[in-house]
Amino acid sequence: MSHDIRKLRCFAHSLILHEATVNPPSPTRRATALPVLDKLRPLLATFMGKTGYQALILRAMIMAGEEVPWLCNVEIAANGNLENYNEQSAKHETDEKADGSEILLAHLISLLEAFIGEVLTLRLINELWPALPKDDDFTLEDEHD
Amino acid sequence: MINPTDPENKSTKGPSKVKIRQLPTGVRGLDEILGGGIPEYSFIVIAAPPGSGKTTLAHQIAFANATVQRPALYFTVLGEPAIKMLRYQQQYTFFDESKLGTAIRFINLSDKLMESDLPAVLAEIIRQVTAANPSIVVVDSFRTVMRQAVAGGNQLEMQTFIQGLTQFLTSWQATTFLVGEYHADEMRGDPLFTIADGLFWLSQVTERNSVVRKLQIMKLRGQASVPGLHTIRISDSGLQAFSRTLGFAKKKETAKRQRRLSTGIPELDEMLGGGIPEGDHCLIAGTSGTGKSALATQFIASGLRDGEPAIIAIFEERPLGYVDRAASFGLDLHTPREQGTLEVLYLRPLDLSVDETMQEILDAVERTGAKRLVIDSLVGFEMALAPGFREDFRESLYRMIVALTGAGVTILSTVEIEENFTSMPLSHYAISFLTDNVIRMRYVEIDGQLRKVMVVVKMRGGNHSKDIREYVITDKGVVVIGPRQTDYIGLTTGIPTRTGRTHEASPEPKAT
Q: Write the pLDDT tens digit of every residue in A44-78.
A: 998 888 888 998 999 999 999 999 999 999 999 98
Contact: B87, A45; criterion CB under 8 Å? no
Q: What is the pLDDT of residues A107-124, one digit of tens each?
A: 999 999 988 898 899 989
Nearest residue to B33 via CA among B43, B41, B42, B22? B22
Q: How far is CA B219 from CA A15, B58, B262, B471, in A?
A: 52, 17, 48, 57
Chain A residues close to B87, C-beta within 8 Å:
115-117
Selecting from A50, A115, A119 the residue whose C-beta is nearest the C-beta of B83 gives: A115
CB atoms within 10 A of CB A58: 12
In chain B, whose CA is at the least distance from the CA of A115?
A: B87
Q: Where are chain A's structural domains?
A: 5-23+32-129
Q: How many residues does chain A have?
A: 145
**pLDDT over 90 for what percent of chain B?**
44
Distance from C-alpha of B494 to C-alpha of B451, rounded to nearest angstrom: 9
For residue B46, is pLDDT > 80? yes
Cis bond leading into B141, ω under 30°? Answer: yes
Chain A interface disruption, residue of B59, B96, B108, most A CBs within 10 A:
B108
Residue B82 touches chain A, beta carbons under 8 Å:
yes
* Contact indicator for B361, B349 with CB cutoff of 8 Å: no
Give B158→chain A minimum CA distance, Å.
22
Name the 3-class secondary structure at B106: strand
pTM: 0.74
**Cβ B230 vs Cβ B215: under 8 Å:** yes
Contact B81 A127 (CB under 8 A): no
For the cut 60, the answer to whether the pLDDT of residue A145 exceeds it is: no
> What is the model's pLDDT at position B113?
79
Say how far apart CA B365 and CA B410 lie, in whole Å: 11
Cα within 13 Å of Cα(B59), Cβ side:
26
Q: What is the DSSP letter of B385?
A: B
More confidently predicted of B475 and B79 = B475
Do the chains contact at B90 and A117, CB–CB below 8 Å? yes
**Is B110 in the A-facing interface, judged by CB distances under 8 Å?**
yes
| Closest partner CB to B97 (pick from A50, A56, A120) | A120
Cβ <8 Å between B76 and A47: yes
Given A56, A115, A119, which is nearest B97 (Cβ)? A119
Tell me the ipTM for this assembly: 0.72
The one-letter amino acid at B152: G
Chain B closest-CA separation from residue A92 CA (Å) = 35
How confident is the model at residue B262, as a pLDDT? 96
With cut-offs at 50, 70 and 90, classify the pLDDT of residue B29: very high
Report all structural domains of chain B as residue ranges with CATH numbers, in order of start: 20-242 (3.40.50.300), 260-498 (3.40.50.300)
Q: What is the pLDDT of residue B492?
A: 75
Chain A residue with minimal CA distance to B97? A120
| Cα B377 off chain centre by | 18
- Name every chain B residue with its beta carbon within 8 A of the beta carbon of A108: none
Please, are residues A43 and A128 in contact by the beta-carbon 8 Å criterion? yes
pLDDT tens profile B182-225: 887 777 777 788 889 999 999 988 777 777 889 999 999 999 99
For residue B94, which amino acid is it? F
> Could A46 and B107 be called an inter-chain contact, meaning their C-beta atoms sit closer than 8 Å?
yes
Contact B101 A124 (CB under 8 A): yes
Facing residue for A47 by CB, picked from B82, B90, B114 = B82
In this predicted structure, the answer to whether residue A1 has a pLDDT above a threshold of 50 is no
DSSP state of B72: E
DSSP string, chain A: --S-HHHHHHHHHHHHHHHHHHSPPPTTS---SHHHHHHHHHHHHHHH-HHHHHHHHHHHHHHHHTTSGGGGG--B-TTS-BTTHHHHHHTS-HHHHHHHHHHHHHHHHHHHHHHHHHHHHHHHHHHH-TT---SGGG----TT-
Q: Do B108 and A45 touch (CB under 8 A)?
A: yes
Which of A47-61, A110-124, B231-245, B419-433 bottoms out in mean pLDDT, i.e. has the lowest? B419-433
Q: Closest to A123 (Cβ–Cβ): which among B100, B109, B110?
A: B100
Dihedrals phi, psi of B372, to nearest 5 degrees? -125, 140
Contact flag B87-A115 (C-beta cutoff 8 Å): yes
What does B186-250 look like in DSSP terms, one character per residue?
G-TT-HHHHH-SEEEEEEEEEETTEEEEEEEEEEETTS-PPPSEEEEEEETTEEEEE-TTTT-TT
B88 lies within 8 A of chain A by CB:
no
The mean-pLDDT minimum among A5-9, A122-126, B487-491 falls in B487-491
Q: Does A25 touch chain B (CB under 8 A)?
A: no
Q: Is B123 on the interface with A (CB under 8 A)?
A: no
Residue A143's pLDDT band, with cuts at 50, 70 and 90, is very low
Over residues B249-291, the pLDDT tens digits come to: 555 555 555 789 999 999 999 999 999 999 999 999 998 889 9
Inter-chain residue contact A51 with B90, CB threshold 8 Å: no
Angle at the Cα of B357 (from B408 to B397), degrees rounded to 5?
55
Average pLDDT over residues B164-182: 87
Which residue is closest to B76 within chain A, CA to CA? A47
Spell out the alpha helix ranges (H) of B245-318. 266-271, 292-305
Predicted pLDDT at B422:
63
Q: Please indicate if any CB of chain B lies within 8 Å of the CB of A127.
A: yes
The residues facing B39 across adjacent strands are B22
Best B111, B115, B127 member to test A by mutation, with max A CBs in 10 Å, is B111
Max CA distance (Å), chain B: 101
| Nearest CB neighbour to A51, from listed B90, B106, B111 | B111
Q: What percent of chain A has pLDDT over 70?
A: 88
When the pLDDT of each residue in chain B is averaged and rounded to a whole number, the result is 84
Q: Is B368 on the interface with A (CB under 8 A)?
A: no
Residue B106 sits at the chain A interface (C-beta within 8 Å): yes
CA gap B221, B170 in Å, rounded? 14
What is the mean pLDDT of the segment spanning B324-333?
A: 93
Query: Which of chain B's residues have a Cβ under 8 Å away from the Cβ of A42?
Result: none
Q: What number of H helices and E strands is found in chain B?
A: 17, 24
Mutate to test the interface with A, among B76, B83, B99 (most CBs of A within 10 A): B83
Q: What is the pLDDT of residue B106?
A: 92
| A2 in B contact zone (CB under 8 Å) | no
pLDDT grade for B434, boundaries at 50, 70 and 90? confident
CA distance A1 to chain B (A): 15
Burial B378-391 (b: 16+ CB within 10 A, else e): bbbbbebbbebbee
Q: What is the pLDDT of residues B5-28, one digit of tens each?
A: 555 555 556 667 788 999 999 999
What's the average model confidence in pLDDT over B471-475? 91
Pick among A43, A44, A48 to test the B interface (most B CBs inside 10 A): A48
B352 has pLDDT over 70: no
Q: What is the pLDDT of residue B187?
A: 72
Instruction: Residue B493: count other Cβ atoms within 10 Å of its Cβ.
Output: 16
**CA B494 to CA B490: how far, in whole Å?**
7
What are the backbone angles phi and psi of residue B230, rounded to the nearest 5°? -115, 140
What is the per-residue pLDDT for B43?
92
Among A32-46, B238-252, B315-329, where is mean pLDDT lowest? B238-252
Residue A49's closest chain B neighbor by CA?
B108
Q: Compute the radius of gyration of chain A from its Cα atoms.
A: 14
For helices A50-65 and A94-128, the axis angle rounded to 10 degrees is: 140
How many angstroms separate the CA atoms of A47 and B128, rounded?
Answer: 13
